[in-house]
Structure 1
Amino acid sequence: MPTKEKIENAIAFLWDDLCKLQDPFYIIGSSALVLAGIPLEATDDIDLLTSHRDADFLKEHWQLHKVEAYTPKDSDKFRSNFGRFRWNIVLVEVMGDLEVFHKGEWQKLQIEEYFEVEINQSSARVPVLKEQERIFRLFGRAKDLAKADLITKHIIQP
């Protein structure tokens, strides 16, 4: 099954729970790239950017699927109400009110522009490609900068 279809199926699987969130949420990271039309061979997980309270809700609601003893990589660069969850078909990382340490200060990640992807008669928010490029550059790790460059190439030569 192609990566995009896997992501869409995973989101559809989670959709009943995601509909219970009180605030807007966004799919970010590699899954967002794929949903925006950038082909990737594979993605490790689905990254959900949520509010702090919605992250708390998911952490409680998905307790049975929690990945125990999980500590996010680069914790000196990112802080959030993190949670990581695994089902047979999907690995999900929840980031409530994600902040990024950039240029000597903590900055809350805000999504300025997004589009909605239709999945099983529902829709999920995904940052537009220019927004995703900005986010990857803000994150600043080598793997993020490579994804930002991939977006730049795609925009210049679709």
Structure 2
Amino acid sequence: MTTREKIIQTLALIASELHEVSAYSYLIGGASMILQGFEIGETADIDILTTSEGAQKLQLSLKEYRQISPLTKENHLFRSNFARFRFPLLDLEVMGDLQVCKYKEWQPVLIQDNQTMTIGNLTLKFPTLQEQIRILTLFGREKDLRRIDLLKKLSG
């Protein structure tokens, strides 16, 4: 099974729960890029950027899959109403009101330009390619910079 198929099957499994928060949620990161047709390889999880309220709704509606007290590596860089959910094919990470620390200040991560894609009966919003590059630049980690280079090569 391809990574793209794993992403689609995982999203289909929770389509009704995602539909409840889809008006103010975005699929970001590796899963977003793969669904948009960029061959970036594997991704460890599906990342959903939403409001704190949206994160709370998903924490309640998907509580049977929720990982209790997940370890996060980059608390110095990111903060949000965070939750990780374990599914058979891929994990889902939800970030409500995500902020990134830049120059010793917390800045909100907001999607300024997006596009949509429909998978089954679920319409998902994604950052556009240029917006994804802007967000990765804001994050600024080594893996983000590698993804920017790859995206630029693939978009040619």
**Could you tell me the TM-score, scaled by structure 1's length?**
0.92
Q: Which moves more between the two structures, 131-140 or 115-124?
A: 115-124
Gaps in structure 2 of 5+ consecutive residues:
none
Matches within 5 A, 1:6-155: 6-21=6-21, 23-155=23-155
CA-based RMSD of the aligned residues comes to: 1.4
Deviating above 2 A after TM superposition, structure 1's stretches of 4 or more consecutive aligned residues are: none
Q: Is the Cα–Cα contact under 8 Å of residues 36 and 129 in structure 1 kept in the other structure?
A: no
1:22 CA drift (Å): 7.1
SS of 2:12's equivalent? helix
SS of 1:88's equivalent? coil
Question: How many percent of aligned residue pairs carry the same amino acid?
Answer: 37
Deviations 1:36-74 (A, max 9, x none): 221022110000001001111111222221112313211
How many residues of Structure 1 are paired with residues of Structure 2 in the alignment? 156
Task: Give the counterpart letter for 1:29 in structure 2.
Answer: G
SS of 1:71's equivalent? coil
Q: Is the Cα–Cα contact under 8 Å of residues 49 and 97 in structure 2 kept in the other structure?
A: yes
Distance in 2 of aligned mates of 1:34 and 1:87: 18
Deviations 1:69-105 (A, max 9, x none): 3132110100000000102123100000000011231
1:23 CA drift (Å): 4.3
Q: Is the Cα–Cα contact under 8 Å of residues 50 and 94 in structure 1 kept in the other structure?
A: yes
Gaps in structure 1 of 5+ consecutive residues:
none
